[in-house]
Structure 1
Amino acid sequence: MTQLSLIIAGSEATGGAGIQADLRTYQQLGVYGVGTITCIVSFDPENDWAHRFVPVDPQVIADQIEAATRTHDLDVVKVGMLGTPATIAVVAEALRAQPWRHVVLDPVLICKGQEAGAALDTDLALREQVLPLATVVTPNMFEARTLSGMDRIESVEDLAEAARRIHALGPQYVLVKGGVELPGDDAVDVLFDGEEITVFSEPKVGQERVSGAGCSLAAAVAAELAKGATVPDAVATAKALVTASIHGRVSANTPFASVWQGAYSA
């Protein structure tokens, strides 16, 4: 039986991140992806590749989710870039409208193309309306500092403390990603299930961030959960996929490379 899973995320025009990366990840792991687009992000090559951010009308988002959930029997969803309180509200309403076996939240708090003042409203709306609905939440270092209220995260112990604090906000599992920002030779992620800490570690692949790594990790977790994996096993597979995808990254005219999920099987 074909496994299906919904993606609610932004479109990123270069293809490196957002729903484009999510769908490639699903395909790589043998899951049929159904997509709802929340916003459109395009880099501006005339302005140091800054983000240009355009939100999708909330009613259009609701319509997409309605069409997807009426067409398919969906019980796993990956939520990515939302971007505005209005978008968060309509997505939260849709998530509450039916039972979900798993909700995987990549808590993208703000896009660099937005007004800086929007960050606080977006942060508050996300933590109040969507975070408590999540089975798994996958913050990076910036998101973990923001959601946990910690000034700095500089060690594996700090990652674990951030995970504990974020868990208190409502999600069942918290996966804090150290990435290239955490000092040391290894890319370390920490999973907290409310009782135990599990550490996932792989040698870093260079010292530069690669576009789409966070999107792909959360999408891979959702895909594996759709196939029936436990959360720790889903995270282990996701970590392996993203590590391979960074090794096989695609260079471009941008100042950053993008992950290539096809490297996981190749």
Structure 2
Amino acid sequence: MTVPKTLTIAGSDTSGGAGIQADLKTFQEFGVYGMTVLTTIVAMAPRTWDHLVYPVALDVVEAQLKTVLEGIGFDAMKTGMLGSVEIIELVAGYLKKHDLKRIVIDPVMVCKGTDEVLQPENTEAMLELLIPGADLVTPNLFEASQLAKTGSIRTVEQMQEAAAIIHERGARHVLIKDRGKIKEGKAMDLLYDGHTFEWFETDSVNTSFTHGAGCTSSAAVTAGLAQGLSVREAVEQAKQFITQAIAGGFRLNEFVGPTLHAAHRLQQNDLS
């Protein structure tokens, strides 16, 4: 049996809903083999849920990269929280050295529940080193506004403008994700390939339990690419998966509720 292999280069979410934990759960649901390079550890203050961010030492990140890239290989990969400019530079260097394909860049800039960019200097490093040549970049509205330097995105036209700018910066495809802010009651994602703007729209799920949705969505796309789907096909498949995962979201504690990665499978079991 040949099992598609996927890699996530991202941070650890101690609460389990986002980051590498979300990526591995998603990979498992799609039947692909997930591997990891851990870049950052995020813990939370129990009484306030303030995020505590601890970058992993550079030599430790490099050892992990060598393990996968030089010892195994993969069919598709994604990035998430990279933690520092130095880590971005290291990752970019290895991607270029090995001439890797099917690269999904999820430009994580904030933790769910916060509105402050964790490391503002990382945006410039991503624009210079990771966005050019990426097969797909998957920002939410805020991240897209930072990458495109357009200011707040509030309209369909502004989403398209931002997607075009990010594409011009070197990404082959851009997927900007919205969860009901642009059009009330609708979750509208925009895919742009340099020629066509394509919308993937579903009804919004009325829930605040969306922790890890961005990581889960980009991981689902990565899994699809590893299975041989086109970018468009992988995005369409991932849209269905994340919609079900959000619909199955649940309360974890008084501060946060994650998506349910097994929701699509549990729903199928209920129907059978």
1:75 to partner: Cα distance: 3.9
1:21 to partner: Cα distance: 0.3
- Mapped to 1, the partners of 2:33 and 2:100 lie a distance apart of 17
Once the two structures are superposed, the pairs formed by residues 105-254 of structure 1 within 5 Å of their partners are 105-111=105-111, 119-206=119-206, 208=208, 210-254=210-254
Once the two structures are superposed, the pairs formed by residues 51-66 of structure 1 within 5 Å of their partners are 51-66=51-66
Q: Give the conservation status (yes or no) of the 8 Å contact 2:248–2:260.
A: yes
1:151 to partner: Cα distance: 1.9
Tell me, what secondary structure is at the counterpart of 2:170? coil
1:236 to partner: Cα distance: 0.6
- Mapped to 1, the partners of 2:113 and 2:204 lie a distance apart of 29
Amino acid aligned to 1:24 = K
- Overall identity of the aligned pairs, in %: 38
Q: Give the conservation status (yes or no) of the 8 Å contact 1:88–1:129.
A: yes
Q: Give the conservation status (yes or no) of the 8 Å contact 2:209–2:246.
A: no
Amino acid aligned to 2:105 = L
- Mapped to 1, the partners of 2:118 and 2:85 lie a distance apart of 9
Q: Give the conservation status (yes or no) of the 8 Å contact 2:212–2:258.
A: yes
Q: TM-score, normalised by structure 1?
A: 0.94
**2:28 matched to 1:27?**
yes
Tell me, what secondary structure is at the counterpart of 1:88? helix
Q: Give the conservation status (yes or no) of the 8 Å contact 1:8–1:36.
A: yes
1:183-234 CA distance string (max 9 Å, x none): 4110000000000011001100015361110001111111100000010110
1:57 to partner: Cα distance: 0.6
The alignment of Structure 1 onto Structure 2 pairs a total of residues equal to 264
| Stretches of structure 1 lacking an aligned partner (at least 5 in a row) | none
1:83 to partner: Cα distance: 2.0
User: Residue 209 and residue 145 in structure 1: after superposition, are their counterparts in 2 closer, same or farther (change >3 A)?
Assistant: farther
1:70 is matched with: 70
State the superposition RMSD in angstroms.
Answer: 1.9
1:50 to partner: Cα distance: 1.2
- Mapped to 1, the partners of 2:254 and 2:52 lie a distance apart of 15
2:270 is matched with: none
Q: Give the conservation status (yes or no) of the 8 Å contact 1:53–1:111.
A: no
- Mapped to 2, the partners of 1:212 and 1:182 lie a distance apart of 20
Q: Give the conservation status (yes or no) of the 8 Å contact 2:12–2:38.
A: yes
1:171 to partner: Cα distance: 0.6
- Mapped to 1, the partners of 2:207 and 2:192 lie a distance apart of 26
Flag as ranges the 4+ runs of structure 1 deviating above 6 A. Answer: none
Q: TM-score, normalised by structure 2?
A: 0.92
Q: Give the conservation status (yes or no) of the 8 Å contact 2:142–2:152.
A: no
1:112 to partner: Cα distance: 8.4
Tell me, what secondary structure is at the counterpart of 1:119? coil
1:70 to partner: Cα distance: 2.7
1:151-194 CA distance string (max 9 Å, x none): 22112222111111111111100000112433411000000000
